[in-house]
Amino acid sequence: MIRLIVIDLDGTLLNDEKKISQENENAIRCALEMGIAVSISTGRSYVSGHEYVEQLGIDVPVSYQNGALVTFGHGEEIKVISRSVLDPSKARMIYKRATEKSLNTLVFFDFFTLPDISTVGPYDSPYREYYRHNKYRMVFEENPLKRISNDGIPEIAVEGKESLIRDLILESNSHLENVTVVKNDSLEDHAFYEFFGPGVGKEKGLRHILDYLNLDWDSVAHIGDNYNDLEVLKKAALPIVMANGPLGVKKHASFVTDRDNNSGGVAEAIERILRTRGEL
């Protein structure tokens, strides 16, 4: 029986205008009224994701930055359940090697305050919409390396031609101990990868949520759309992928929604769960 629905944000719960539709919000509230817990698991940081969590009134732990940060509560009452930082020497190495390959590189230097991203950009890339939507949280400067604290940082993100990013990972492999590499997205021949500290991933972040609720994986439905959802989709009892997801992700779904993120795909998925009252 499904007792927890975990939902991704971008490309899933959010439409292309980065808003939660009333239809999706109503479906989530119906699930809550039926006693099914709802949480968020997102690649977004706390500063760019917490307003959606608060809008929905979620009262269980939430996983941010692909599991690098798991929190409970809101505002001044927020509690950090788990946090993983990227070692500063590893961060500097990744940054230098990425920029040597002319890859667009972003330093995420804070979990909770704005601005939280430093980069040389803006860039002309297939991810121009990402830069447009996140411009408010970016510092554009010549030397983002200075933002890497000796205490470590949340992550380094790299985007550009995927072949070059794969070369970077292969060439740096012997130096990536205690570094978690997550493929977030691919677009044309480009891709967006993230380098985190140890023990990061949506699956690991969700473990903290399951522990808090005293639930197992056989109680979980996960709704997602992209590559960073894969490890959770492979473990959840009911893996659901959005119509707008890539084929490489869809093949891991128990079912794929007919509607995409702009047409209430999350509402469709939740309604299907609720029709059976969570029974697989």
Q: Which contacts (CB < 8 Å, 24+ apart) does range 182-185 have?
A: 182/43, 182/66, 182/228, 183/227, 183/228, 184/43, 184/66, 184/157, 184/226, 184/227, 184/228, 185/127, 185/226, 185/227, 185/228
Q: Is the pLDDT of residue 276 over 90?
A: no
User: What is the percentage of the chain residues whose pLDDT exceeds 90?
Assistant: 94
Q: Quick one: which of 6, 8, 22 has its CA closest to 242?
A: 8
Return all residues near 78 (Cβ < 8 A) that are at least 6 apart.
Answer: 71, 72
**More confident call, 280 vs 217:** 217
Residues 152-160, mean pLDDT to the nearest whole number: 98
pLDDT of residue 239: 98
The candidate with the shortest Cα–Cα distance to 4, out of 193, 180, 207, is: 207
Is the confidence at residue 278, as pLDDT, over 80? Answer: no
Q: Alpha-carbon distance 8 to 46, whole Å?
A: 14
For the stretch 26-57, pLDDT in tens is 999 999 999 999 999 999 999 999 999 999 99
Q: What share of the chain has pLDDT > 70, as a percent? A: 99
Terminal Cα-to-Cα distance of the chain (whole angstroms): 6
**pLDDT value at 280 more than 50:** no
Per-residue confidence (pLDDT) for residue 279, from 0 to 100: 47
Domain positions in the chain:
4-83+200-275, 88-196
CATH tag for 88-196 (out of 3.30.930.10, 3.20.130.10, 3.40.1710.10, 3.30.1240.10): 3.30.1240.10
Nearest Cα residue to 112 out of 64, 40, 158? 64
pLDDT digits over 85-107, tens only?
999 999 999 999 999 999 999 99
Q: Identical fold at 4-83+200-275 and 88-196? A: no
Query: What number of other Cβ atoms are within 10 A of residue 115's Cβ?
Result: 16
Question: Among the CATH numbers 3.40.50.1000, 3.40.50.300, 3.40.710.10, 3.20.20.140, which is that of 4-83+200-275?
Answer: 3.40.50.1000
The residue-averaged pLDDT of 143-167 equals: 98
> What's the mean pLDDT when you consider all of the chain?
96
Task: For 208-245, write each residue's pLDDT tens digit.
Answer: 999 999 999 999 999 999 999 999 999 999 999 999 99
Cα 81–Cα 36–Cα 254 angle in degrees, nearest 5? 95
pTM of the shown model: 0.94
